[in-house]
Every structure is written in C-alpha cells, then in structure tokens.
C-alpha cells in the first residue's frame, strides 16, 4: 500500500497555488484531503494536483469559493479512477515520531524493522517523511511482544506480513478477488493456530518461572533475615569485647 503523498506545502509548490489559498479551500471542504498526519495536517495523493488545478481554473474565471462549491456539487472534481468508492484509504497517518510515542517503541527500532522488511510505511511525503496508518501502533506492539517471546526477525517478518494482509482485507475486502480472499484467510487461520500452540508453551513456561521466582523471593527474604541476625550478633560481640577492654 506504499504510495507517495503530498503535504499542503508540496501541493502548493507543484501547482503554483499559494498554500494559504489551498488551506482556505481545505477548510471550506471544497478540497478534501486524502488523509491527515497525527498532528492533523492535511495530506493529498497525486490526484490532488488535478483537483487543485481544476479549482484554480474556476477561480481564474472569477468564481468565488462559495460559487465553486456549488459548481463542484453539480459536476464534481477530477479524481484518480483507481481510488476506492468511499476513500477507503482516508484516515489519520502517523509520522515515525508519532508512531514511536504511541506504540512505546523507539524510532531507531522502527527504522531497523523497516530495513529488515518487517514493516513498511503506508505513504511517503515528497520530502521523504514516512507516514504510517494507525494500525501500525498495534502492529509495533505485537512485534515487540514477539521479540520478548524469543521469535527471530525472520519469524516476526512472516507474522507481520500475515497481520498486514489481514488489515488490508478488513479495510477493503472488495479489493481482492473472492477466491484470493479465501486462500489468504485460510493461510492466516493456520498461522493463528500455530501461534496459539506456541503461546500455550510460553504460558506454561511463564507459569513455571512465576512459581520459581515466587519461591526464590521467599527464600531470599528468609536468608536476608538470618543474615541480619548474624550481623546484629556480630555487633553485640564486638561491643562486649570493647567493654572488657575498657574495664581492663
């Protein structure tokens, strides 16, 4: 799903339309963004270039914003024909810093995962900034969990690919042929069963360790109590010797 997106400033630079004017069109809902950063900055895909150019042509003819809105309601704006019917991709996007803060995973770790092909940004701005959908917050937390469970990066990549596939199908099932959806879901179901089996082993191991650690914590407390008595006894003996010396 990796694709290039444009910030409002990118759109202005490419079309020659002042950013303030594009911002005004966005606020009036004449120009609808294709998504937003976590900081609520608007984002546009390549079709935004045609939409801005179309609106600007109407403005050049002397139409005001309110009049253009009425015209657009009747005839619409040019859009990329590949887009889903209801803008399935529209939503809020996170920068790598936002993602790190929300998921509790460092930006450096996220970049490392990206280098290994475990995750990939949903979009990139013209300036090269990575943008991720909110589903990556959960995905990053799951990846971190798998590392704690001792999974290798290769195993994690396979699971991450499965999770991303599921997210894509859930977001827009109609984007895939029905037989392909069934095939992918069958593979995902097998992966889920395999994970359940491994999780059971992990849970049993965790239970053993919890029992062991609880017992050893009690043992340590008992040894410390005995050791404290030894220290106190040693101090009492030392005091007794000091008294004997002073009497002598």
In a domain, 110, yes or no: yes
Would you give the distance in Å from CA 172 to the centre of its chain? 19
pLDDT at 103: 93
In a domain, 160, yes or no: no
CA–CA dist 119, 114 (Å, integer): 5
pLDDT at 14: 87
Structure-token pair, residue 71: 């015209």
* Residue 43 CB coordination number (10 Å): 23
pLDDT at 87: 43
Q: Into how many domains does the chain fold? A: 2
User: Which are the contacts of 143, defined by CB distance < 8 A and separation ≥ 6?
Assistant: 105, 113, 118, 119, 156, 160
Residue ranges making up the domain that contains 37: 3-75
Name residue, tokens 């966005």.
Answer: 26
Structure-token pair, residue 93: 């996007």
CA–CA dist 243, 133 (Å, integer): 77
Each residue's pLDDT, cut to its tens digit, for the chain (248 residues) gives 445 678 888 888 888 999 998 998 988 888 888 777 767 788 887 778 888 888 888 888 788 888 888 777 766 665 443 343 344 345 578 888 889 999 999 999 999 999 998 998 887 776 677 888 888 998 999 999 989 888 898 989 988 888 888 888 887 888 888 898 899 899 889 988 988 998 899 899 999 999 999 999 999 999 999 998 888 877 767 666 666 666 65
CB distance 147 to 117 below 8 Å:
no
| Shared-domain flag, residues 97 and 41 | no
Cα distances (angstroms) measured from residue 150 to each of 35, 146, 212: 36, 6, 20
pLDDT at 186: 92
Angle at 195 between CA 191 and CA 198, to 5 degrees: 140
pLDDT at 34: 78
In a domain, 12, yes or no: yes
Given 151, 170, 185, which residue is the final one in a domain?
151
| Shared-domain flag, residues 71 and 118 | no
List, as one string, the DSSP characters of 180-196: HHHHHHHHHHHHHHHHH
| Shared-domain flag, residues 65 and 102 | no
In a domain, 184, yes or no: no
User: Which are the contacts of 43, defined by CB distance < 8 A and separation ≥ 6?
Assistant: 5, 6, 7, 33, 34, 35, 36, 37, 93, 123, 125, 131
- Dihedral, CA of residue 76, residue 39, residue 165 and residue 161, to nearest 10: 150
- Dihedral, CA of residue 69, residue 71, residue 74 and residue 75, to nearest 10: -110
Q: Please report, for the domain that includes residue 21, its CATH number.
A: 1.10.1660.10
In a domain, 105, yes or no: yes
pLDDT at 207: 94
pLDDT at 111: 92
List, as one string, the DSSP characters of 147-168: HHTT--HHHHHHHHHHHHHHHH
| Shared-domain flag, residues 105 and 70 | no
Tell me if the pTM is above 0.85. Answer: no
- C-alpha closest to that of 90 among 80, 100, 76, 105: 80
Structure-token pair, residue 177: 């042929």
């Amino acid at each position: 799903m990796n694709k290039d997106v444009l910030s409002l400033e990118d759109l202005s630079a490419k079309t020659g339309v002042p950013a303030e004017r594009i911002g005004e069109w966005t606020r009036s809902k004449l120009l609808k963004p294709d998504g937003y950063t976590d900081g609520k900055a608007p984002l546009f895909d390549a079709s935004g270039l045609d939409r801005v150019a179309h609106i600007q042509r109407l403005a050049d003819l002397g139409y005001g914003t309110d009049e253009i809105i009425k015209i657009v309601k009747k005839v619409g704006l040019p859009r990329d024909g590949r887009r889903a019917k209801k803008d399935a991709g529209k939503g809020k996007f996170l920068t790598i810093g936002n993602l790190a803060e929300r998921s509790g995973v460092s930006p450096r770790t996220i970049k490392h995962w990206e280098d290994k092909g475990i995750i990939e940004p949903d979009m990139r701005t013209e300036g090269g900034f990575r943008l991720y959908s909110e589903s990556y917050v959960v995905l990053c937390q799951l990846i971190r969990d798998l590392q704690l469970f001792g999974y290798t990066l290769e195993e994690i990549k396979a699971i991450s690919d499965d999770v991303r596939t599921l997210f894509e199908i859930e977001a827009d099932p109609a984007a895939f042929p029905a037989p392909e959806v069934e095939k992918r879901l069958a593979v995902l179901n097998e992966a889920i069963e395999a994970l359940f089996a491994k999780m059971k082993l992990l849970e049993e191991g965790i239970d053993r360790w919890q029992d062991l650690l609880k017992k050893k914590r009690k043992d340590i407390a008992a040894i410390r109590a005995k050791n404290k008595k030894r220290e106190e006894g040693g101090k009492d003996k030392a005091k007794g010797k000091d008294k004997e010396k002073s009497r002598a």
